[in-house]
Amino acid sequence: MSSTRVRFAPSPTGGLHIGGLRTALFNYLFARKSKGQFIVRIEDTDQKRFVSGAENYILDALDWLGISPDESTRINGEYGPYRQSERKEIYQEYVKELLQKDLAYYAVDTAEELEAMRERLKQAGMVNLHYNSLSRMTMSNSLTLSKEEIENRISSGAPYVIRLKVPAKEEIRFKDIVRGFVVVHSSTVDDKVLLKSDGLPTYHLANVVDDHLMKITHVIRGEEWLPSAPSHVLLYKYLGWSDEMPEFAHLPLLLKPDGNGKLSKRAADKAGFPIFPLNWTDSESGVVSEGYKEKGYLPEALANFLALLGWNPGLDKEIFSLEELENNFSLEKVGKSGTKFDIEKARWFNQQYLNQKNDLELGNWLVKELSTKHAITCELETASKISFALKTRVTFLHEMLQESIVFFEKPSHFDEKVIKKKYSEEGKSALKAFINNLDNSITEGEAIKNTYSETLNNLNINPGKYMQLLRVSLTGAGGGPDLGVILEILGPQEIKDRINFAIPLFNKVKK
Ligand code: GLU
């Protein structure tokens, strides 16, 4: 049996949308599960929509997510070139074959003629305003005009296209792994343009020819391509490739968070979440759209989140490492119905993955960030302790960095509500007594906390009564990570300095 080969075939028309990234991921996972190859083919035959930089962006985004292709414009394989604009001659050959077999034809209609055709069909009450087996006989093409006439028009520079000759009455059937059998009547399929006057093929022709030549076994793509599939199936038949036709799997749509319609950049902007995996700069407006990466999402968390958009493993768990996804993925478990894009769930995944990271790894990251972004020098051991204390409390790494600053700089802001509620003469004496009793040789958090408790017990004060006040005096906030950890990281001298610094401020608030 030939080995599984799948492809992700983006058009470089802009930044890769998150839905496209999901399509790429499903292709990658299917390839890995089947021990096959994952190919990226750049479909750049539409010169009008070409955006420079998009190709690199797409490949960078896949690398970042951890789903680098086995063959692409960057990693050459046996089936290159992997950029369609470099395969022009190949398509010409197949168009010739279709013309010779009378399965395609030249059309020289002007834009006005095409518009008049649509108007006529509309007047006649037709729903499909298609160039098809019926309407083509009233148009200017090689089926209605003589060979000489067509040649004359083309040589005089008139624009022409080559169209697929779709049969009038035929059932087109194909199997879709997600949807089961799909049957479409050819009367609803239009005579798609295969080659344009610029000599470049359209998506339909290039896509089918390349899937065949690149030995693609499964076409996994978004549901928006389902209506094109019948034309593709016909092309396979016309080119004599029906027996080797790839299997199709059209993935369910990603819907807006409210479930109303397809997820779009506009919807994402409105709801305040990224649509692109990495920062994307619009070449016309210069506007930068923040990516998932820059927003602080971890690639493994995003991959896990995306994998579950449409795929239901039917297992009693949600956290899957990329390796587990690769081992468990199956197209049979991909559902048909559209799936809502819930950014809260993406945040939850990020939190889970952040939580799982080991403290030393996070500590290393923190040491670097503190130094480069805040000019703060921190020992790895301390940074690891801080990471341990903070990682369960934040969703993103940059929040951890932000929250760690308080361990190095005295708070600039104090929670006045807590001060008003908890601060008193007794509280002040309690804090002062605590720092008086605190020996600078005590370094363990629990031991410092014990000193606090013993001091207050000796004063006949319940230690719990001023615990929150102690916290506010040290960090400014009424809540936060474990107090023992805070005490340990700050150490006795800094605790004393901060309490001495806070008390006069507390007095002011209380006045
Ligand atoms: N170039 C098409 C796109 O931009 C590819 C669709 C397909 O996978 O066949 O999505």
Write the pLDDT tens digit of every residue in 68-89.
999 999 999 999 999 999 999 9
pLDDT of residue 25: 98
Ligand 1, closest atom to CA 43? 1
Give the residue, out of 51, 82, 225, with the most ligand 1 atoms within 8 A of its beta carbon, to mutate for a pocket test: 225
The residues, ordered by sequence, that sit 6+ positions from 122 with a Cβ below 8 Å of its Cβ are 129
Active site residues per annotation = 265
d(CA 132, CA 262): 29
pLDDT of residue 101: 97
d(CA 458, CA 331): 68
pLDDT of residue 384: 97
| Dihedral pair phi/psi, residue 221, rounded to 5° | -155, 175
pLDDT of residue 198: 86
Sign of torsion over alpha carbons 122, 125, 127, 130 = negative
| Centre of ligand 1 from the C-alpha of residue 43, in Å | 7
Q: What is the mean pLDDT of residues 202-214?
A: 98
Nearest CA to ligand 1 atom 3: 10
| Centre of ligand 1 from the C-alpha of residue 204, in Å | 9
In the predicted structure, residue 1 carries a pLDDT above the cut 60: no
Instruction: For residue 11, name the pLDDT band (cuts at 50, 70, 90).
Output: very high
Q: By C-alpha distance, which of 47, 37, 394 is closest to 199?
A: 47
Give the residue, out of 23, 203, 211, with the most ligand 1 atoms within 8 A of its beta carbon, to mutate for a pocket test: 203
In the predicted structure, residue 335 carries a pLDDT above the cut 80: yes
- Cβ < 6 Å from ligand 1: which residues? 9-11, 43, 203, 207, 221, 225
| Centre of ligand 1 from the C-alpha of residue 157, in Å | 31
pLDDT one-digit tens code per residue, 391-431: 999 999 999 999 999 999 999 999 999 999 999 999 999 99
Ligand 1, closest atom to CA 10? 4
Instruction: For residue 128, name the pLDDT band (cuts at 50, 70, 90).
Output: confident
pLDDT of residue 497: 98
| Centre of ligand 1 from the C-alpha of residue 9, in Å | 5
| Centre of ligand 1 from the C-alpha of residue 225, in Å | 7
Give the residue, out of 41, 43, 49, 87, with the most ligand 1 atoms within 8 A of its beta carbon, to mutate for a pocket test: 43
pLDDT of residue 127: 86
| Centre of ligand 1 from the C-alpha of residue 314, in Å | 29
Nearest CA to ligand 1 atom 5: 9
Ligand 1, closest atom to CA 20? 10
pLDDT of residue 197: 84
Instruction: For residue 158, name the pLDDT band (cuts at 50, 70, 90).
Output: confident
% of the chain exceeding 90 in pLDDT: 97
Ligand 1, closest atom to CA 13? 4
In the predicted structure, residue 378 carries a pLDDT above the cut 90: yes
Half-sphere exposure of 208 (CA within 13 A, CB side): 27
Instruction: For residue 2, name the pLDDT band (cuts at 50, 70, 90).
Output: low
Q: What is the mean pLDDT of residues 29-44?
A: 98
Q: Taking all residues of the chain, what is their mean pLDDT, rounded to a whole number?
A: 96
Q: What is the mean pLDDT of residues 21-30?
A: 98
Angle between helices 397-404 and 359-374 (to 10 degrees): 70
